[in-house]
Chain A
Amino acid sequence: MSKHQEGPAYAHVVPVRTLLGVFGALMFLTVLTYAVTYVDLGALNIWVALGIALVKGTLVALVFMHLLWDKKFYAVVLVSALLCVMIFIGIALLDSGQYQADLIPGFAPAITP
């Protein structure tokens, strides 16, 4: 198989080394996520796990999904979707802060004493 096969005229071909490098990073980060659960950081644990997930997601989006080399517009599309979701969840959480936890006694033991 020739090394310099002609690729498409209008699209970028990702080098194998890049793909494998990102793959390695993703595997490592997954193992890291798993390993961190054995370290007790209290309330921080979930945020560390989500932070690592964010890094993994960024790697997948940029390299595997090709956003790094594509038109910036597609990245804008994805980021705007994520922003919408964050606004959605954010406001829902704000709203649920009005939750009457003690309306039915004993119903939410972790919140109401």
Chain B
Amino acid sequence: MSTAHEGRDEHADPHLQHHFGSMAQQYDSGKFGMWLFLVTEVLLFGGLFCAYAVYRANHPEIFAYAHQFLDKTLGGLNTLVLIVSSLTMAMAVRCAQLGQQRRLKQMLAATLLCACVFLGVKGVEYEHKWKHGLLWGTRYAPQGETAAPAAAGTQVETTAAAAAAPADGGTTLPHAATGPEGLADRPQAGHGDAAHGGHGPAGPAPRNVHLFFGIYFVMTGLHGIHVLAGMIAIVWLLRRSASGEFGPGYFAPVDFVGLYWHLVDLIWIFLFPLLYLIH
């Protein structure tokens, strides 16, 4: 329907707002606007990356110790999921540009599905941390899973405990290596006493480990909120595309939501190695 307007009087196009001279100008303005918004998002997360950088530079021992509570396989899976979602989103933009209505809806739905998987995995990760008291600030109160480990309280499991069977009511959540079980062996969790606490791969638990989790939860939480907002925008697009509104003459909303979605993916691409792949 919109192709009928191409090459003729554009001002008959209902999608052309009165304050723009042409569809091309409207499209460019919209794209510029979205890029400006993306700049504000980059600076928003940039501030958080700054906090990360400063704290990691000044307390590398906290990061070296606490990152082992993160499951990098789940993090890697989430990265792959978001990359798939970026592909389906880019395909959706292409479909809108070519007027392929059915495939556009399929691609948007696929993007939505990937986003749901991402948030689901995030939920699994957060639940694991909640259960073990690996939270932010004053809520940091690490608890092991087993009450009575095999060793007599002075020896800490130093090998990868990821294969250890969970003893707390049948959860199949993966354990981070020497994570909470290691802490359960320590007489005083959180106090870096080298004489008693035994040692994990990164040495005794340093002070202020909660700093890591504060940064972790704020950064991944804010990112998760952005994923949620993106999902709402995609649902909005799906509703609009139900009537075949998008096509070669008008596809800007799909394009711009796509830009936002790619930025969300971009941010995670940097979050993943910084949080999950610390050595």
Measuring CB to CB, which residues of chain A are less than 8 angstroms from any residue of chain B?
A: 1, 5-11, 13-14, 16, 19-20, 23, 26-27, 30-31, 33-34, 37, 40, 42, 45-46, 49-50, 52-53, 56-57, 60-61, 63-66, 70-71, 73-74, 77-78, 80-82, 84-85, 88-89, 92-93, 96, 99, 101, 106-111
Contact = CB atoms under 8 A, between A and B. Distances in A.
B23 interface: yes
Given A11-B97, A13-B98, A19-B91, A82 B42 contact: yes
Contact of A8 (B31, B91, B249): B249
Given A7-B98, A14-B94, A30-B83, 18 more contacts: A1-B100, A8-B249, A11-B255, A13-B97, A23-B84, A23-B87, A30-B76, A30-B80, A46-B279, A49-B274, A53-B272, A57-B269, A66-B259, A70-B31, A77-B32, A78-B38, A93-B54, A109-B206
B248 A8 contact: yes
A110 B211 CA distance: 15
Contacts of A1: 100
Given A34-B76, A77-B36, A93-B54, A60 B262 contact: yes
Cβ-closest 9 pairs across A and B: A85-B46, A49-B273, A10-B24, A110-B61, A81-B39, A23-B87, A81-B42, A8-B248, A5-B98
Contacts of A60: 86, 262, 265-266, 269
B174 interface: no
Contacts of B54: 92-93, 96
Nearest to A52: B273
Contacts of A63: 90
Interface centre among B59, B84, B206, B277 (most CB of A within 10 A): B277
B152 interface: no
Given A13-B98, A23-B83, A74 B32 contact: yes
B215 interface: no
21 contacts: A5-B248, A10-B24, A11-B255, A34-B277, A46-B273, A49-B274, A60-B86, A60-B262, A61-B266, A65-B263, A66-B255, A78-B38, A78-B42, A81-B46, A84-B43, A89-B49, A92-B50, A96-B58, A99-B58, A108-B61, A111-B59
Given A6-B3, A60-B86, A30 B79 contact: yes
Nearest to A8: B248
A4 to B, nearest CB: 10
Contacts of A92: 50, 53-54
A19 B279 CA distance: 33
Nearest to A20: B87
A21 to B, nearest CB: 11
B98 A56 contact: no
B49 A101 contact: no
Contacts of A65: 258-259, 262-263
Contacts of A111: 58-59
